Amino acid sequence: MKRVIIIVLDSAGCGTCPDSYLYGDEGANTLNHIARDYSELKLPNMVSLGLGHIADLDNIKPAPVPLGAHGRMQELSAGKDTTTGHWELAGIRLEQAFPVFPNAFPSELIEEFEQLIGRKTIGNEVASGTEIIARLGDEHVKTGFPIVYTSADSVFQIAAHESIIPIEEQYEICLAARQLLQGQYAVGRVIARPFAGVSGSYQRTSRRHDYSLEPLGETLLDRVKAGGLDVRAIGKIHDIFAGRGTTVKIPSASNAEGIKLTIEQLQQDFSGLLFVNLVDFDMLYGHRNDVQGYAEALMEFDRGVPDIMAAMHSDDLLLITADHGCDPTYPGTDHTREYVPALYWSPSLQGGINLGTISGFGSAAATAAQYLNLKYEDFGISLYDQLFPR
């Protein structure tokens, strides 16, 4: 009854990689800079698994002998967004990045979108979500026109007040955008950004929904499901893969709920993959340059690690990793191109294994597939023999 658990600490990068300069991200190091600037940061459980032994994390003191295997993965795909990172973790390498719109969307595209949904829109800017809602929220409430915006990522974001445009209609509007945004406009994600509240205190709600492109090839999720095993998706994993390859969809509204749901799922009997995304690190703290909030979220997850480990079966394999960086100390509020941690643990794993620098996030998919006795060679470099030497 083998199971692989992949937990993505969304945006928890661990240092500048050789191609960071291509993205203007030289010197970014999400985890190290949080530890540097927030002296109260304590992550004893992840440190016990080997976090402090990862190169370039000089502000995180290592454990004498790690319980797990530790290393860092370098992304091979072009891009530094959520979809690209997760797809590569699941075995798909993108040679060409999703399109971005640093000057906002062409007017003819917006006009076609407005015709599709039967409403005018406002915004069409590169903006922070919280800032543009605060600035244009009153106009939206008065006119009923959705707020459209993007960022440095390949996203088409649509914000609307839940009392002005009901949530189901917001989702229909996003589906219309997803169908429109193909070809040269095929952004990685269309994102519903519902909000509530009154003028001066608008707040985004937990009913965000992501509409991704369908993966461009077979993923780990597809292969596990085709093998007759479960693929249980917590958080936005189901959305990132456009619903493909999932057998059980488990939404979560916060990191705390995601951790709780992970433990509950592990206490059930199933074979296959449990794939978890914890988005608060990125959405609430990285993009808002909130070092303290990010640090406290890391400590919250770290406190949950022993319960996750205790709920695992003897033949389960855990990977704690990330999909990109979002250094809250770095100029701007965008994702940063970084290495990501690879912390492996299993009750049957011998500790103290240094995996070094691993080429490609696809090693996660290859290792998981081989562990589950599935075809793995086309995903990337499997670490199975390093984790479980004969």
* Distances in whole angstroms, Cα of residue 67 to Cα of each of 6, 31, 53, 111, 341: 17, 20, 11, 56, 15
The Cα 121–Cα 67 span in angstroms is 53
What confidence tens digit (pLDDT) does each residue in 352-378 have?
999 999 999 999 999 999 999 999 999
Residue 206 has pLDDT above 90, yes or no: no
Cα(144)–Cα(383) distance, integer angstroms: 52
Q: Which domains does the chain have, with CATH numbers?
A: 3-96+216-387 (3.40.720.10), 107-212 (3.30.70.1250)
State yes or no: pLDDT of 152 exceeds 90: no
Give dist(CA 195, CA 193) in Å, integer: 7
Q: In this predicted structure, what is the pLDDT of residue 163? A: 97
> What is residue 250's DSSP assignment?
E
pTM of the full predicted structure? 0.91
User: Band of the pLDDT at 80, cuts 50, 70, 90?
Assistant: very high
Mean pLDDT of all residues in 144-159: 94
pLDDT at 76: 98
pLDDT tens profile 83-94:
999 999 999 999
DSSP 328: T
